[in-house]
Amino acid sequence: MKASSLTVRTPEGIVFSLPLAGPVTRFLAWTVDLACVSAAMTVAAGILGPLGLLSLDLHQAILAIVYVALSIGYAMLAEWMWRGQTLGKWLFRLRVVDEQGLKLRPEQVVVRNLLRFVDALPMFYLVGGAAVFLGRRAQRLGDVAAGTVVVRALPRREPDLETLLAGKFNSLRGHAHLEARLRQRVTPDEAALALRALLRRDGLDPAARVDLFHDIAGHFRRLVEFPVETTEGLTDEQYVRNVVDIVFRTRGDAAAS
Amino acid sequence: MILDLDRFLAAGRPSWSELEERLDRLESDPGHRLGVADVTRLHYLYRRAAADLARFATFSSEPEIRGYLEALVARAYGEVHALRPRGRQIMLWRLLSRSAPRAFRRHLGAFVLAVLATAAGAVFGGAALVLDPAARSVVLPAELAAWPPAERVAWEESVHADLLHGVRTRFSAQLFTHNTQVSIFCLALGITWGAGTLMLLFVNGVILGAVVADYMGAGHGGFLFGWLLPHGAIEIPAILIAGQAGLVLAGALLGRADPLPLRARLRNVTADLGTLVALCAALLAWAGLVEAFLSQYHAPVVPYGLKIAFGAIEAAALAAFLALAGGREP
């Protein structure tokens, strides 16, 4: 079965996963890199131009070597210096990593890039593309040989809970026994779902937003029944926000803020 | 129980931020070396973040924080657990003088197989030319097939002008780049479980055998070896070493009599593949220079005996280097 992420279990027993890159993004990154090599070649030809006036032979020899060095060495050097990223990969937020989650070794960078010659056959990376489509870890042949995978290097930030929860009155607070019961009955998955709905609410279609929070609030209302005076006038969305506040922020002082 | 996110974030944030800063510094300079105190601190921060991730995964499943911690732990894990060569740069000289001959000897069987495939091709090419002269245009490259040995030798020996004047460096560069591409293919085709590598070596052998048979049959052995040996003594072993690398890769893929899983087998040979490729590139650079600056000059400009002796010395030096350099395995 095709995996969508690379799961790594560390010797300490910690499990983490990295999302695998798809063939289309990789192909786009490659086209950017191809453009980079072409641009670099044009620049090199311009810089070396005056040399041709002194010796045409030497000028053409150096250009031939620069072309091969750029076309073969660009990706190797970039991936080694920039931790598995070329300009194209950086632009599309991709990164080459060791398939065990370890740091890339120089020989891995060399081998995966040399095997491009086979992956690129017969044209436009058809062999490599087929391997990415068919392989479990979306690896081209060079990745298989070098023990590498290409992952999506998404920027990760902590969610801003302060903006979401702080500074708002929570009418459900003040019933300690019901709060405790709520925390006891809400599962981590339910709590995460509610928090995620709140974090993404501005991106939802208005009708879908109303329906979603109606369903979630209804579920929480069935778990614990708060006195009518504390829930009167609360919209479903406010109810869910208050539940999330109770579940994720257990300190009493949070209620007063 | 569900984590109190406020408290969890407040407690973890200082150490996560410090870990991020240290990782940013490390990632901006691949050759950066840490002192003992820095390593100890990095390891502590990594374990702390890993513990936070484990705790979070157990008591909460909020995906944003989990994703953030996973990404942080993944980055730190790569730094803490990976082995890297010491020093700022990969020591190229050490790689070529010590690691390369050792890697060559470690995989001598693959080299012998590459030699056998080429030799089989050479026998086939030579036999095809001798037994069926009409096959000449098939087994020889077009420029050689169109030019009978006797005519070429007579022409080359009569021309005293420097035919490569003004294009010699470019010619050398073209030879180097062409041979490099052929060698890379030879290695890369190892991914076809070695079939592609063996076929490429066989085809190279066919051409080589046919050329030898063509010139030897015409009685121009002196010209042939004077022409081929100076650069061929290095170029042919270089391509064989590329073939050896391809077969090493194939061996790891096939894993005959090796109980290790595929990924472990591949991991075990990647370093040697990189080393053999570096050796091959260095040899091809030398062969390109020799081919442009010596091989294309024939008697009476450069006597055949001198060229053959030069090639023989090169071959002997290379053989001695591959057999003896780098010392024993540690």
- The answer to whether the beta carbons of residues A17 and A5 sit under 8 Å apart is yes
Q: In angstroms, what is the C-alpha Rg of chain A?
A: 28
C-alpha span between B62 and A197 (Å, rounded): 11
For residue B21 the two structure tokens come to 């800063």
- How far is A186 from A192, CA to CA, in rounded Å? 10
Cis peptide before B300 (omega within 30 of 0): yes
Cβ contact B52:B76 at 8 Å: no
Please list, in sequence order, all residues whose beta carbon lies within 8 angstroms of the beta carbon of residue B148, skipping any fewer than 6 positions away.
B218
The H or E element spanning position A94 is strand A94-98
B96 in contact with chain A, both atoms CB, cutoff 8 A: no
The answer to whether A69 faces chain B, any CB pair under 8 Å, is: no
CA A209, CA A192: separation in Å to the nearest integer? 17
Interface list for A 149-188 with B (CB within 8 A):
154, 156-159, 161, 183, 186, 188
Per-residue confidence at B288, pLDDT binned at 50, 70, 90?
confident
Q: Which residues of A touch B185 (CB under 8 A)?
A: 117-118
Contact B191, A145 (CB under 8 A): yes
ipTM above 0.85, yes or no: no
Dist. CA B250–CA A89, nearest whole Å: 29
Beta bridge partners of B307: none
- Confidence label for B304 from pLDDT (cuts 50, 70 and 90): confident
Q: What pLDDT is attached to residue B88?
A: 47
Is residue B175 scored above 60 in pLDDT? yes
Answer yes or no: do A111 and B53 touch at CB < 8 A.
Answer: no
Q: What pLDDT is attached to residue B186? A: 92
Identity at B53, one-letter amino acid code? L
Angle, in degrees to the nearest 10, between helices A206-223 and A188-199: 150
Closest in A14, A72, A188 to B54, CB measured = A14
Write out the DSSP string of B234-249: HHHHHHHHHHHHHHHH
Name residues whose C-beta falls within 8 Å of residue B189's C-beta, 6 or more positions apart in sequence: A118, B195, B196, B197, B199, B200, B246
Contacts of A35 (CB under 8 A, 6+ apart): none
Give pLDDT tens digits for B38-83.
888 999 999 898 888 888 877 666 667 788 888 888 888 888 887 6
d(Cα A219, Cα A212) in Å, to the nearest integer? 11
Residue B69: the pLDDT is: 85
> pLDDT tier at B31 (50, 70, 90 boundaries)?
low
User: Under an 8 A CB cutoff, do A56 and B166 touch?
Assistant: yes
Contact assessment for residue B287 and residue B175, using Cβ atoms and an 8 Å cutoff: yes
User: Which residues in chain A show pLDDT less than 50?
Assistant: 253-257
Interface test with B, best of A6, A114, A139, A223 (most B CBs within 10 A): A114
CA pair distance B204, B139, nearest whole angstrom: 10
B113 compared with B168, residue with greater pLDDT: B113
For tokens 């050097």, what's the residue?
Answer: A77
Chain A residues in contact with B174 by the CB 8 A cut-off are 61, 64
Per-residue pLDDT tens digits for B75-84: 888 888 876 6
Q: Is the pTM of this model over 0.80?
A: no
pLDDT in tens, A215-236: 999 999 888 888 888 888 788 8
- Distance in angstroms (rounded) separating the CA atoms of residues A83 and A95: 8
For residue A149, what are its two tokens? 């995978």
Mutate to test the interface with A, among B6, B48, B95 (most CBs of A within 10 A): B6
The span from the CA of A57 to the CA of A231, in Å, is: 87
Residue B18: its H or E element: helix B5-28
Check residue B246 and give its pLDDT: 95
Answer yes or no: are the C-beta atoms of A149 and A6 closer than 8 Å: yes
> CA-to-CA distance for B168 and B157, rounded, in angstroms?
19
Mean residue pLDDT across chain B: 85
Binary contact (A154, B71; C-beta < 8 A): yes
| Residues of chain B with C-beta less than 8 angstroms from the C-beta of A194 | none
Position B128 pLDDT exceeds 80: yes
